Structure 1
Amino acid sequence: MADVEVFPLAQVPVAHAPASAGEVVAGAPTLGTTPITTLGGTGVEIGIWEMSTGAVRDVEVDEVFVVLEGEATITVEGAEPIAVKPGDLVKLTAGTATIWEVTSPLRKLYVA
């Protein structure tokens, strides 16, 4: 393995599949994930995640991500919705139940 690796994020392909019926809140969203690399032997994964327009339920893992493209609103029960857009850095806590409403196809770089 090289001491320095470069990953051209705009060129990382992500295959989509329909969200499962139990996750869908609105629309007919598709989702896709492409792992890119890991941090040594830590088990920490870095990758690209995408979602088309629509809304889904999710239960989060510990994750930090940067929105690369698109816009969405993330809602946690009992809290105000949080709008995210390109350039935003977001931290999610494991076990948090969320609803993702994507209004413009979303692409994010995640570390989980």
Structure 2
Amino acid sequence: MTHTYNPVEIVAADLESKPLAPPSAEPLSGEIITRSRVEFANDERTIISGTWESDPGTSRWEFLTRGEIIHLLEGAMTVQRDGEDAVALTPGSVAYFPIGWTGVWTVAEPVRKFYVVYR
């Protein structure tokens, strides 16, 4: 089944709101509210895609059992893989977090991203 949509057209009311928490990530700067909606998942849930938003804050991410590809639609953030320099992401940026990636995300401005998670 094919489903096409424009992630920019999704409004916050369409997204599920909840605090960021393990196993997704560990907030480092207090509570961080996120909003998300899954648009696609295959039957085995080895591929999942959708839209995700986050309020500003700093969090630790460990992609130990899954990888992720993101396309930042709005906002500004930096990602810093352990032992490496931080990389700034702005609207239009694409980033790849392979299985095994660990590091810190710092959301400076509220972000909206389209994501694909794979296992």
Same fold (TM over 0.5): yes
Bigger Rg over Cα = 1
CA distance in 1, matches of 2:42, 2:86: 32
Identity of aligned residues (%): 25
2:16 corresponding residue in structure 1 = 15
Q: By how many angstroms is 1:41 displaced?
A: 6.8
How far apart are residue 27 of structure 1 and its match? 4.2
**1:57-72 matches, cutoff 5 A:** 57-60=60-63, 61-72=66-77
**For 2:32 and 2:82, how far apart are their aligned partners in 1?**
21
Structure 1 residue aligned with 2:107: 102
Tell me the residue number matched to 1:45. Answer: 48
Distance 1:28 1:16 in 2: 13
Confirm whether residue 31 of structure 1 aligns to residue 34 of structure 2: yes
2:95 partner letter: V
Shift of 1:19: 2.5
How far does residue 28 in structure 1 lie from its aligned partner after superposition? 2.9
TM-score w.r.t. structure 1 length? 0.82
Partner of 1:26: helix, strand, or coil? Answer: coil
Out of 70-79 and 18-27, give the one that drifted further.
18-27
Aligned residue type for 1:53: P
Q: Mean alpha-carbon deviation: is it higher for 11-20 or for 68-77?
A: 11-20
Amino acid at match of 1:74: V
Alignment gaps of 5+ in structure 2: none
Q: 1:70 to 1:42 in 2, by over 3 A?
A: same
Contact 1:27 1:53 in 2 (8 A): no
Distance 1:53 1:42, change over 3 A: closer
TM-align CA RMSD: 2.4
Count of paired positions: 110
